[in-house]
Amino acid sequence: GQNIDQPTEMTATEGAIVQINCTYQTSGFNGLFWYQQHAGEAPTFLSYNVLDGLEEKGRFSSFLSRSKGYSYLLLKELQMKDSASYLCAPNQAGTALIFGKGTTLSVSS
Amino acid sequence: EPEVTQTPSHQVTQMGQEVILRCVPISNHLYFYWYRQILGQKVEFLVSFYNNEISEKSEIFDDQFSVERPDGSNFTLKIRSTKLEDSAMYFCASSGGGWNQPQHFGDGTRLSIL
């Protein structure tokens, strides 16, 4: 089985930095994806980690610790358009992405 | 940038009717997926498809569901006898190069069962 845990909601202000944590337990593991989903829209791919460590991609970075079953998404220089849900999705050595309920981030001015 | 396209964007159907949701994956992708998202809930995996056969399916994907790749470009999800609880947003996704590659999602079809 699988269990994915993220905070339900977070708030931050424009220009700030926010870290969204994700812990997971899966029966197999083949990497972890982060997706962004604006309300009423499709998930869009942000990042992928398969090895331990930090992957940086512009304003967004993602970190993985396989031994701890832990990942985080770091968003820098927050903008209003970053208000969305952020979905942690481990790939458990199969084909499916198993999504958690996601973290809804609200960015205010 | 290539994208996954889905039609229709919104489908309204009477309970018990059959419905076919259509998807055109990114052209050089070989791995295809369907997910659904009931309003206010998380995205749920339905089925994955590769080399003209189902690779994996979830418990949700029961006998009322089927998938098909009728030609070189389309990928369809059929729901045979729709139920009220099938009302959801259905997302098609595709990836290239392997199961561990990013999956790119279409804009979805909102299915409303009356």
- Rounded CA separation A51/A56 (Å): 13
Cα–chain center distance at B30: 15
Using an 8 Å CB-CB cutoff, list chain B residues near A50: 100
| Cα-Cα end-to-end distance for chain A | 41
Q: Where residue A93 falls among pLDDT bands split at 50, 70, 90?
A: low
Which pair of tokens denotes residue A100?
């958690």
B43 touches chain A (CB under 8 A): yes
B18 band by pLDDT with thresholds 50, 70 and 90: very high
Distance, in Å, from the CA atom of A18 to the CA atom of B7, rounded to the nearest integer, reads: 36
Specify the 3-state DSSP secondary structure of A76: coil
pLDDT digits (tens, 9 = 90+) for B19-49: 999 999 999 899 999 999 999 999 999 999 9
- The pLDDT confidence band at residue A1, using thresholds 50, 70 and 90, is low
Give residue-wise pLDDT tens across range A59-77.
999 999 999 999 999 999 9
Provide the percentage of residues in chain B whose pLDDT is more than 70: 100
Whether residues B102 and A33 touch (CB distance < 8 A) is answered with: yes
Burial class (CB within 10 angstroms; exposed 0-12, middle 13-18, buried 19+) of B95: buried
